Amino acid sequence: MLWQALTLQLGYNATLVALGAALLGVSSGVTGTFLFLRKRALVSDAISHATLPGVALAFMVMVALGGEGRNLPGLLVGSALSAWAGLLCVTWLTRHTRLAEDAAIGAVLSVFFGLGVVLLTVIQTMGTGKQAGLEGFLLGSTAGMLQTDALIIAVGGALALACIVLLRRPMTLVAFDPEYAQSRGLPVARIDLAMMGLVMAVTVIGLKIVGLILIVALLIIPAVTGRFWTDRSDRVALLAGLFGGLAGYLGAAISAVAPNLPTGPIIVLASFAFFVVSFILAPGRGVLAELFRYLRFQRRVHIRQGLLALAQGQPIYEPLTLRLLKHAGLARADGVATGKGRAHAAKALRDEKRWEVLRADHAHEAAASHYDGLRDIETVLTPDQIAEIDRRIGPPRQVVQ
């Protein structure tokens, strides 16, 4: 059943939803990356909650004009207008008062959302009979999705992506170093506003499928997931698009199989699954890689300390050090060095002396900056330089046994 859903064999409506959700995921993932890089992820939460009064007001206006209240393009225009108002409020509060951005976000988000809920309640008492369905915008509802709805998502998402291709350089520059960007004459405030406009566009086209409460997850989670895999901002954006698209597709397919589950939350959970896998397994920034790096480093430190202790005839008390030395064939279980161990210990002690000379000498400053107590001196000096240092130290001595 899930396989059929994934291969788009579950009927016309399910196919529309899956493709729409995938497109939405791609555009929200890519757009969200720039929001994430600019460290303004939460502004999108204010924007999305600010759509609700617009949805309700648009419904009322359309009904009052004798039209169909649930006309999707009409509702989206309303939501875009009130989202824009919410965004302007956050921007204005941050720039012209002493409120920090997080406080401004909290205030705008709750007031707009509260207003929206009140308006929804009013609509329910209006008795026009056709009000049912507006609540769907809170958590998304894909039941009865029309071809035009999918088309709106496709066109809107494609436009947002085109804008991002056009603005990626200035947006990256502003996100990394806004002061420098300003010094180059870039209109930083306008670029920020354009970025927020794109976020708003993605939010509005995502209302139908994911709903306004959860769209923030689709903007942020793919970007954060992509960050685990790469150290380049353009690749973060591409990966975020990929993860977002896959999550949208997968989530829509799952909810097609289990129609009782709401689509939006399932998409968000699918997105979260990608996040968890990346968080654990990504090479470089994942927790497992981090743990292995730590253990490997710890091992090097212990062996080095053990070798230096052996070289100076000091007893080794640390059980881990003893175990590592024994495992490497450098010492016996009772802590006495093997032949190989003595050779390595002598080298370690000699390197330590060489480093000492190196670090005291101003001429070797660049090389000395590499000192970390572990590094082999051959990696920073030429054999000639080492020979020169050795002349200063004097001939090698017998290591204490």
**CA atoms of 215 and 200, how far apart (whole Å):** 10
| 8 Å CB contact between 111 and 119 | no
133-158 burial string, b = 16+ CB within 10 Å, else e?
Answer: ebebbbbbbbeebeeebbebbbebbe
Nearer to another protein, 112 or 229 (CB): 229
Q: Which of 182, 298, 312, 382 binds another protein (CB under 8 A)?
A: 182
**CA atoms of 367 and 37, how far apart (whole Å):** 35
Segment lying near another protein (by CB under 8 A), choices 1-9, 138-146, 175-183, 391-399: 175-183
3-state secondary structure of 22: helix
Helix segments in 97-146, DSSP class H: 101-126, 136-139
Length of the chain: 401
**CA atoms of 220 and 208, how far apart (whole Å):** 19
2-15 burial string, b = 16+ CB within 10 Å, else e?
Answer: eeebbebebeebbb
Q: Which of 81, 111, 159, 173 binds another protein (CB under 8 A)?
A: 173
Segment lying near another protein (by CB under 8 A), choices 41-49, 71-79, 85-93, 161-169: 161-169
> Rule CB under 8 A: is residue 233 a binding residue for another protein?
yes
> Rule CB under 8 A: is residue 366 a binding residue for another protein?
yes
> Rule CB under 8 A: is residue 231 a binding residue for another protein?
yes
> Rule CB under 8 A: is residue 370 a binding residue for another protein?
no
Q: Which of 118, 151, 162, 180 binds another protein (CB under 8 A)?
A: 180
Site string for another protein, 28-67 (x = CB under 8 A): ---------x-x----------------------------
**CA atoms of 128 and 64, how far apart (whole Å):** 10
Residue with tokens 């929001």: 35
Q: Which of 175, 196, 210, 270 binds another protein (CB under 8 A)?
A: 175
Nearer to another protein, 78 or 226 (CB): 226
Site string for another protein, 91-110 (x = CB under 8 A): --------------------
> Rule CB under 8 A: is residue 176 a binding residue for another protein?
yes
| 8 Å CB contact between 160 and 198 | yes
> Rule CB under 8 A: is residue 379 a binding residue for another protein?
no
> Rule CB under 8 A: is residue 236 a binding residue for another protein?
yes
* Contact residues: another protein, CB under 8 A: 37, 39, 165-167, 169-170, 172-173, 175-177, 179-180, 182-186, 227, 230-233, 235-236, 365-366, 369
